[in-house]
Chains A and B, each alone.
Chain A
Amino acid sequence: MNTKVSQPSPTTNLLEVKDLRVYYETPGGDILAVDSIDFELKEGETLGLVGESGCGKSTAAMGILQLVQPPGRIVSGEVRLQGKDLLTLSEGKMRQLRWSKLALIPQGAMNSLNPTMRIYRQIQDVILTHQTTGSDKLSADQIKNRILELLRMVGLPERIYQMYPHELSGGMKQRVCIAMAIALNPSLIIADESTSALDVVVQRVVAQTILRVKQMLGVSMIIIGHDMGLMAQIVDRIAVMYAGKIVEIAAVRDIFNNPSHPYTQLLIESIPSLKEQKPLKVTEGLTHDPRHPPPGCIFQLRCPIVTDQCRSIAPKAHLIRVEQSVACHAYENTDVARTV
C-alpha cells in the first residue's frame, strides 16, 4: 500500500465528481441508479468502488465516461477531469478526450472485442482515430511496433497480433483489453469488474497485470468490483456504494480494520475466511424499491442499528478520521473538524 494515502494529500485532484445523478427511466418511475455521489481521485491514486450487484457502481462509471445509454440519463452533476467538466463538453470534444485521457477496461471481457476484427486492428483503430494530424503521426511500422510493445507489456505473445478474439482465452482477451486501455497513455483508467468473469488463477494474473501496468505508467485508476480480497491488494482507497449512494470512503486499511458504516461492516464480515468456518451472516431485509427510496437513510431497511432518526432524516457524510468519511447517524458526534 502506498504511503501517500495516509497522509493528507498534497497532490492535485485528477478527477472530481460532484453530485452525480444517473437515473434510468422506467414506466413505473425513474430508477435512481446513481443518486448524488461525490468523490475525488488524486493523481496516481487508485480508488476501489465496491458494493453489491445493482448498487450503481457500473452506472457511476458510465456516468463518468459519459457512456450512459438510454433509457439511462445523467440528471445532474459535475465530472471534472483535470478541471474540465466533461458534462458540458460537446460530443466531438468528448470523443477526442475519450481513450486519450479516459480509458476503460470493460466488464464483459469475453464479448468486448469485435469478433470480426483481428486483435491488432482493434488496437490500431484507437491509435489512428486519436492521432492528431501533423508531425507526431506514426508510420505503419511504428504503429505495429507500438502494438507489439503493448502486447508484451501485458504479457501476451506476439502471435496474438494477427489473431481473432475467438482464438483467445478469456484471460488473454482481458489482457488485450488492458493493452488497449494503455495504448494512448491515458490519465485515468476505469476497470469495470474486469476480473469478474474469470477463474481465480486467471483473475490473479489479470490483477497482477493491472497492477504492473499501473506501476509502470503511474496512471490513476478506478477499479470497480466486489472481490474485497483483490481490492485489498490493488487499491489505495475504497468507496463503498449502496443503492446509488456512497456510504463510506476510506483508505483501504481503515476499511478493513475499522469498517464504520453498518453496511461496510456487513460487507467485510461476509468475506469468507479459510482459517475458520464462521456461520454465514444472513442479510436481513430487502433493499428498497430503487424507484422510491424511503425518506431518511437508504440503508434503514437492512440496518442492524437502525433508529427512528434514520427513518426520517438522511445522514450527512461524517469525517470520522482523516480521509474516512461515513454517511451514518451513528457517527454524528465523532466528526473531526474538516481540515480541507
Chain B
Amino acid sequence: MTGKLDDRITFLGRKLGVFLLTVWTSATLIFIIPRLAPGDPIAAMIARMSQQSGYVENADKIIEGWRERFGLNDPPSIQYVRYLGNLFHFDLGYSMASFPATVSVMIGRALPWTVGLSLVSILATFLIGNFVGALLAWQKTPRWIKLCIPPTMIFTSIPGMLAAVALLYIFSFQLHRWLGLSAPLFPLRGAYGRGLEPGVSWPFILSVIHHGILPVTSIVLVRFGYWALGMRGMMITVEGEDYMHLARAKGLRPFYILYHYMIRNAILPQITGLALSLGTMVGGQVLVEIIFSYPGMGTLIYTAVRNQDFPVIQGATFIIIVGTATAVLLIDLLYPLIDPRISHQGK
C-alpha cells in the first residue's frame, strides 16, 4: 500500500511541477513580449489626452512621473523580479487606462461572467455533440434521426461571430416584430437586466439565464459538430472491438451496450479534448462576448488592447494561462478515474 501511496505522491509532485513551470514560463513571456512591441503606452495615453483636450501641459513631466510610478525606469532585471514578486500574491498592478482601478479588481469583476458563460457552453457543446455523434454511429438509431442530424452541422462551417450576429438579428431585432410582440424575445446586450442588483435573487438569476441563452446557443451551434464527428469516428472504432462482439454474444440489452460498452470507451479521447477546451474557458469567447457586450474577460482584453493598457493585458493573459494550466492539471488528476488503464504510477 505504501508503494502505491508513494507513487501517487510522486505523480502529484510531477504534475504540480509541470504546472508551476508552465505558469512561470508564461509569466516570463508575458513580461518580455509587450516590452518588445513598438510604442510607449504612456506616450500613447498622453497623445490620446491631447487629442481630446487639444493640449496637455507639461507632457514630458507627466510621462516621466508615470514612468517613475510604474517603475519603467528601473533596469529590466529589477522590473522582472518585482513583477514576479507581485504576481506571486496576485498583485497585478493598476490599470493605465482606467486608473486608479487595480487590475485584480477589474479581472475579478469580469472573470465570473466569462467562466460561467464558457463553462455552460463548453459542457452543453460536449454533451450535445457527443450524444449526437453516438447516435450517428449507433446501429440501432432510427433512420430518420440519422438523416436529420447531418444538415444541422452546416453551422459548424460558419464562423462563431457570424452565428452570433445572425442569432442576435433574428431573436433580438426581427422575430418579435414579425410576431407582433412589443419586446424582443431575447435581450440585445449585457449579462443581466439593467437596474437589477447582482445577488442571489430569482429575478437576477432568471435575467442572467435570459441574457445567456443567445451567447451560449451561438457557441454550441458552431462547435457541437466537431464533437459529433469525433465521437462518431470513435464509436465506429469501438464497434469493431472484440469486447463489442462479446457484449452482443452475451445478449445484453442494446442500451446497456450503447452506454457501458460503446460510449464509455469511445468518450475517452473526447475527454482529453474536453480538457483542452476547458483550458480555453477563461479567454476563449472574446468575439462572442464583444458581440453581445458581455462584461467578461474577452471584452476586458479587447478594451485593454485598444487602449494599450499593458497591466490589464498582462494580468488578463496571466489569469488565462493559470486557468488553462489549472484545467489541464485537474483533468490529469481526474483522468485515472475515467480510464483505469491510466494510473498514477510513474512510467
Spell out A's residues near B (CB within 8 Å).
Answer: 65, 67, 69, 94-100, 103-104, 106-108, 110-117, 125-126, 129-130, 164, 166, 177, 180
**In the bound complex, how far is the Cα of B256 from the Cα of A126, in angstroms?**
11
> Is the pair A98, B250 in contact by a Cβ cutoff of 8 Å?
yes
Q: Is B123 an interface residue (CB 8 A)?
A: no
Given contacts A115-B265, A115-B341, A116-B265, contact A98 B251 (CB under 8 A): yes
Q: Is the CB of B252 within 8 A of A114?
A: no
With A125-B256, A129-B256 known as contacts, the answer to whether A116 contacts B250 (CB < 8 A) is no
- Measured between alpha carbons, how far is A322 from B256 in the docked complex, in Å? 48
Contact A100 B251 (CB under 8 A): yes
- B265: chain A residues within 8 A (beta carbon): 114-116
Q: Is B61 an interface residue (CB 8 A)?
A: no
Return chain A residues, CB-CB under 8 Å to B253.
95, 129
Q: Which of A97, A107, A117, A177 contacts B251 (CB 8 A)?
A: A97
Enumerate chain B residues within 8 angstroms of A106, measured Cβ to Cβ: 242, 245-246, 249
13 of the cross-chain contacts (CB-CB < 8 Å) are: A67-B245, A67-B248, A98-B249, A99-B250, A107-B242, A111-B242, A112-B242, A112-B243, A116-B265, A116-B340, A125-B256, A126-B251, A129-B250
Interface string of B17-61 (1 = CB under 8 A from A): 000000000000000000000000000000000000000000000
Q: Which residues of A contact B69 (CB under 8 A)?
A: none
State the CA gap A95–B250 with chains docked (Å).
Answer: 8
* Chain A neighbourhood of B6, CB < 8 A: none
Q: A108 and B341 in contact (CB under 8 A), knowing A65-B249, A114-B247, A129-B256?
A: no
Query: B241 at interface (Cβ–Cβ under 8 A)?
Result: yes
Q: Please state if B241 and A111 are interface contacts (CB–CB under 8 Å).
A: yes
Give Cα A164–Cα B268 distance, bound, in whole angstroms: 16
Tell me which residues across on chain A come within 8 A of B251, comparing CB atoms: 94-100, 126, 129-130
**Which A-chain residue is minimally distant from B254 (CB atoms)?**
A95
Binary per-residue interface labels of chain B (264-276) against chain A in the complex, 1 for a CB within 8 Å, 0 otherwise: 1100100000000
Q: Is B194 an interface residue (CB 8 A)?
A: no
- Complex CA gap A111/B252 in Å reads 18
Given contacts A125-B256, A125-B260, A164-B341, contact A114 B249 (CB under 8 A): no
A66 vs chain B, min Cβ distance (A) = 9
> How far, in Å, is B187 (CB) from chain A's closest CB?
44
| Closest chain B CB from A28 CB (angstroms) | 22
Complex Cα distance A67/B339, Å? 28
| B: contact size bracket | 20 to 34
Q: How far is the CA of A125 from the CA of B255 in the complex (A)?
A: 13
Q: Which residues of B contact A (CB under 8 A)?
A: 241-243, 245-253, 256, 260-261, 264-265, 268, 338-341
Residue in A67, A94, A129 whose CB lies within 8 Å of B252: A129
Would A115 and B249 be within 8 Å (CB), given that A125-B260, A164-B340, A164-B341 are in contact? no
* Complex Cα spacing A285 to B261, Å: 44
CB contacts (< 8 Å) of A125 on chain B: these are 250, 252, 256, 260
Residues of chain A within 8 A of B250, CB atoms compared: 98-99, 125-126, 129, 180
A166: B residues at CB distance < 8 A: 340-341
Closest to A115 in B: B341
Which B residues lie within 8 Å of A104 (CB)?
Answer: 246, 249
User: CB within 8 A of A116: which of B245, B247, B339?
Assistant: B339
Contact (Cβ within 8 A) A112 B246: yes
List the B residue with the shortest CB-CB distance to A113.
B243
Q: How far is the CA of A127 from the CA of B261 in the complex (A)?
A: 16
CA A107 – CA B247 in complex, angstroms? 13
| Contact B252–A117 (Cβ < 8 Å) | no
CA distance A104 to B250 in the complex (A): 8
How many Å lie between the Cα of A67 and that of B249 in the bound state?
7
In the bound complex, CA of A76 to CA of B252 (Å)? 26
Give 8 A-B pairs besides A113-B246, A129-B253 with Cβ atoms closer than 8 angstroms. A106-B246, A106-B249, A111-B242, A114-B260, A115-B341, A116-B338, A177-B246, A180-B250
Does the CB pair B243–A115 fall under 8 Å?
yes
Distance from B73 Cβ to chain A, minimum over Cβ atoms (Å): 60
User: In chain B, what residue has the closest Cβ to A121?
Assistant: B260
> Whole-angstrom distance between the alpha carbons of A99 and B261 in the complex?
17
Q: Which residue of A lies closest to B139 (CB)?
A: A70
Distance from B256 Cβ to chain A, minimum over Cβ atoms (Å): 7
Chain A nearest CB from B55 CB (Å) reads 72
Question: Closest 5 CB pairs between A and B?
Answer: A98-B251, A111-B242, A108-B242, A104-B249, A164-B340
Q: Complex: how many Å from CA A100 to CA B246?
A: 14
Give the complex CA separation of A108 and B250 in angstroms. Answer: 15
Of listed A96, A98, A100, residue having the most chain B CB within 10 A: A98
The answer for the CA separation of A113 and B245 in the assembled complex, in Å, is 10
Q: How far is the CA of A97 from the CA of B250 in the complex (A)?
A: 9
Residue of A nearest to B267 (CB): A116
Interchain CA distance A126-B250 in the complex, whole Å? 6
Tell me the minimal C-beta distance from B59 to chain A in angstroms.
67
A98: chain B residues within 8 A (beta carbon):
248-251
When C-beta atoms are compared, the residue in chain A nearest to B249 turns out to be A104
A280 to chain B, nearest CB (A): 32
Is A103 in contact with B340, judged by CB distance below 8 angstroms? no
B242: chain A residues at CB < 8 Å are 106-108, 110-112
Q: Which of B243, B248, B268, B338 is close to A114, meaning CB atoms less than 8 Å apart?
A: B243
